[in-house]
Chain A
């Protein structure tokens, strides 16, 4: 579980992060939460059929994104990775296009929200089928190694639930056999929709499996963005410099239900959720930044206003855009002229 309050209040260990980087991570966390909440609001307003939140993953994703080298690394994320997506360069407008399923969305309004794809950002397209993207990350890492592209690595993420899939195991094994430049980051939020960790695995420390694969494994406090950055950065540097893959596990908690279509009170208690809420990484990181003198309370306020403004603008701009045309259903199935529906 996450570190205690006392531990968190110790002197700010920066691990080489500048004030600007710390602020950028904090802004990412604020933006994640704002965009998350916006999705759920829009769903309650009947404007979008579905939304999915990553509340509780903010620190983990902001920290991990800071360790990603834009223009070089590749991200193979899963559907609870809003903070990673914006952290590597997707804009709030792009996120809102996906939430509203507009024509200009990267996926042309075909996929669920949160199923990002951006060749520009190095974010590999993925589906809702858990673990199916992990061999893709292995293949991408293989391509990097095959082409001798030193200084590049693949960051692949998943939740605790996905680690039960066969393809998760196959991928870890393969990455280790070929010593590929890949980092497997597990965002352990304790729940696979309604199934708790105790029913997913007898050994709850996922990182321990690394030894069986023959790669380094490490567990860290995923409520701490700086610690996350340090661990992910170290693993990515190892991967980039030919040191092979690692399995790193950040412990966090899923504050919201699985999605807008889920009621988590059918399988977990309010008490459990509120106990974890006390460890909410967003206000805690805010306090730490203010206490360490990185930001003044006024700067924090200004940042929150700017994040809200940016979210509002992105929402309005995306909502004003058109849906894909019905004829778009027939585009981009194959290259060339073959139209199997005719």
Chain B
């Protein structure tokens, strides 16, 4: 089913876990080259039960419980991809991706380039990230900024079930490596209508989740939902805020951001990751380069403080994260500027 027909497709309500699960299931059904590998994805069915019972239907050859070895989970998937399979590697939590950094950055991202197109690496690396779940230092981090510097990779971070399915399908179909980030807190919290059957959403296209005229807010992941909540609240005060869900971090939809900023003349970037060198830094620089004289206020970033991660104790988690109330306050200040 092509994306054009999604509007007329029959839909059902899924949460984000179910959207990932349905997409993986349909991909496994449709293409024998698709293989899932990772820690506890088989017998346990993934720690969030995303691949529950897949092993019964598709067998242990296609749903592989790997040893606890993240570098080779990705590395082996790279080799599979180079030799004609369509592996979907899972890193159990994004915090565990560091041992595989070289395989992602030094290998997967460079294989097409270094062989001048002779070899390719059609690989998806899925991983749950993000906080708000009492995940402490090692089950809560955002990792996108560590990878978005790297040409050769694509990075997507959708947080609405229909986007999750469309972008995960696009990632699986993509001939190049895609890092697919799933926000843990949205897994069961966020529900929405999802079209049945196969469809894709192009990687690199943002989505305006709420129209507005006085301020552009760019965000992704859990914070899109909180930003929407804040923006709705401001409607009652007569403030009109546009909320853009990036969905894809790289390629980044510069056109969508610039169009919106030129209309509202103000830009607030909100993300859960640290501020310094984060995605917001790139968006700010890009807007400053392309649209500085269209702006009526300094660009502002509402991000995590530059500490290693959120702590386990509730006050430490809350202090690290931005709340919908803090987002509303930042929006209010920007609109009034």
Q: Which residues of A contact B (CB under 8 A)?
A: 74, 76, 105-108, 110-111, 115, 117-119, 124-125, 127, 129, 132, 134-144, 146, 166-167, 170-171, 173-174, 177, 331-336, 338, 340-341
Contacts and interface: CB of A to CB of B under 8 A. Distances in A.
A324 to B, nearest CB: 9
A136 B82 contact: yes
A182 B112 CA distance: 24
Contacts of A107: 114-116, 118
Contacts of A338: 204, 251
Interface stretch (B100-108, B125-133, B190-198): B100-108
B112 A332 contact: yes
A335 B85 CA distance: 17
Interface stretch (B67-75, B259-267, B283-291): B67-75
Nearest to A177: B67
Contacts of A134: 75
11 contacts: A76-B79, A117-B119, A124-B83, A125-B82, A125-B119, A135-B71, A135-B78, A137-B79, A143-B83, A177-B67, A333-B152
A332 B117 contact: yes
* List of 4 A-B pairs having minimum Cβ-Cβ separation, nearest first: A139-B79, A135-B75, A108-B116, A136-B79
B76 A135 contact: yes
Nearest to B85: A143
A332 B203 CA distance: 18
Contacts of A118: 118
Contact of B80 (A111, A125, A142): A142
Nearest to B72: A170
Contacts of B106: 127, 129, 132
A8 B250 CA distance: 60
B102 A129 contact: yes
Contacts of A177: 67
Nearest to A333: B113
Interface of B: 35, 61-62, 66-67, 69, 71-72, 74-85, 87, 99, 102-103, 106-107, 110-120, 151-152, 154, 175-176, 204, 250-251
A335 to B, nearest CB: 4
B72 A167 contact: yes
Which of A74, A138, A174: most chain B CB closer than 10 A? A174
Contacts of A142: 76, 79-80, 85
B84 A136 contact: no
Contacts of A340: 151, 250-251
A108 B115 CA distance: 7
Contact of B78 (A106, A136, A334): A136
Nearest to A119: B118
Contacts of A108: 116
Given A136-B76, A331-B116, 16 more contacts: A106-B115, A107-B115, A111-B114, A117-B115, A124-B79, A135-B71, A136-B75, A139-B78, A146-B62, A167-B103, A171-B76, A174-B72, A331-B117, A333-B112, A335-B175, A341-B151
Nearest to A109: B116
A75 to B, nearest CB: 12
B76 A174 contact: yes
Which of B75, B78, B110, B119: most chain A CB closer than 10 A? B75
B119 A124 contact: yes
Nearest to A324: B116
B233 to A, nearest CB: 37
A74 B79 CA distance: 11
Given A142-B76, A335-B176, A117 B118 contact: yes
Given A125-B111, A125-B119, A135-B75, A174 B66 contact: yes
Given A129-B107, A334-B176, A335-B175, A170 B69 contact: yes
Nearest to B99: A166
A341 B254 CA distance: 13
Given A140-B79, A143-B84, A332 B176 contact: no
Contacts of B111: 125
Contacts of A76: 79
Contacts of B67: 170, 173-174, 177
B299 to A, nearest CB: 22
A132 B151 contact: no
Contacts of B69: 170, 173-174
B113 A110 contact: yes
Which of B76, B84, B111, B154: most chain A CB closer than 10 A? B76
Nearest to A334: B176
Given A167-B75, A340-B251, A139 B81 contact: yes
A132 B102 contact: yes
A146 B107 CA distance: 23
A76 B119 CA distance: 13
A139 B87 contact: yes
Contacts of A74: 83
A63 B175 CA distance: 37
A334 B80 CA distance: 19
Contacts of A129: 102, 106-107
B115 A125 contact: yes
